[in-house]
Amino acid sequence: MKYSYPGKIEALKGVDLHIRSGDYVAIVGGNGSGKTTLAKTLNGLLRPSHGSVIISGQPIEKMRLASIAKYVGYAFQNPDHQLFCSTVDEEVEFGPRNLGYEEKEIKEKTGHAISIMGLDEVRDEAPLSLTLGLRRRVSIASVIAMDPRVMIFDEPTTGLDAKEIENLMDNIALLNEEGHTLILITHDMKLVARHSRRVIVMANGRVVLDSDPRGVFSNLDLLRESSLEPPPVTLLAHKLSDFGVRRDAISPDELVRSVMSKGAR
């Protein structure tokens, strides 16, 4: 699949991907590498100039955006680009209402989305008066409420503090457990190491690496070329590999275990 923006900038120069149902995929890459463009073609916001996007055997080219939204949800980076209702409840209901669900279903899906995102206490408040962390949650809940099989999160942690990030990502992980396919666009390699099962590294409009997090983080040179920084624990593991520690450790626990087993010997 290829995509060119009007004005001939080729943002995707040939991407061939198969994303399995129920997977948790991270798309990483430097700014301008094409990751957001790729994600936008997946839900029809951008239509590929060559090739096609197929969801569950169905090409989406001829489908209206509103029909694609039933299958693929997209949570934008900036929640302020979509919040406009007077209460959180109304905001979250907006999506399922557009998709034409029945009143009972709308209430169910909205309630579910609100509880997953932990917004029960602010249901009646005005979305725009909430903190950024909560606004982000409302915007994500509004996507969850449409109950799409695939959900794309574009940099969901920008501007949040460490605790907010941890809580939000834990809640998002719940969706994967429910069976939703998740696609996470991010710069944060710690999140990738902790949450995703598959990592797609993009550079200059191409996929340069496609593997599990362990495979990606062992390729330090390629990460640097793609303007990415592996998590500190991986860097440390690489430094310690001269002493026999496994270099593909991606969590502190793994590193500790590897170091201790060497020390015991």
Partner 1 sequence: MMPVFVDLYAPKNTFLHRLDPRVKIISVILISILALLLASLIALTLLLVVIFVLLFLARATFARTMFALKFVLRFMVLIVILWPFFDPSGTPVLASLGPVKITEPAILRGITSAVRVGCLATVWYILLFTTSQRDLVRALVKLGVRFDFGLTLAIALRFLPTFSSLIDSIKDAQRARGLELNKGGILTRSRNYLAVLIPTIVAALRTADTLALALQSRAYGARADRSYLRELNMRPSDAFVLGLLVVAFVVPLVAKYGFAVPL
Site of interaction with partner 1 (CB under 8 A): 6-7, 40, 43, 45, 64-66, 69-70, 73-74, 76, 78, 80-84, 94-95, 98-99, 128, 142-143, 146
6/179 with CB nearer partner 1: 6
Residue 133: CB minimum distance to partner 1, A: 17
Sheet architecture: strand order including 72-75: 72-75, 150-154, 181-185, 24-29, 198-203, 206-211
> Measured between alpha carbons, how far is 82 from 243 in angstroms, rounded to an integer?
52
> Measured between alpha carbons, how far is 115 from 242 in angstroms, rounded to an integer?
48
Residue 45: CB minimum distance to partner 1, A: 5
- Most distant CA pair in the chain: distance in Å? 65
69/216 with CB nearer partner 1: 69
Residue 90: CB minimum distance to partner 1, A: 11
143/192 with CB nearer partner 1: 143
> Measured between alpha carbons, how far is 219 from 233 in angstroms, rounded to an integer?
14
Residue 36: CB minimum distance to partner 1, A: 10
24/74 with CB nearer partner 1: 74
> Measured between alpha carbons, how far is 201 from 112 in angstroms, rounded to an integer?
33
**Dihedral sign (CA 67, 65, 145, 162):** positive
95/213 with CB nearer partner 1: 95
Residue 116: CB minimum distance to partner 1, A: 17
First to last CA, the chain: 51
What DSSP designation does 79 have?
G
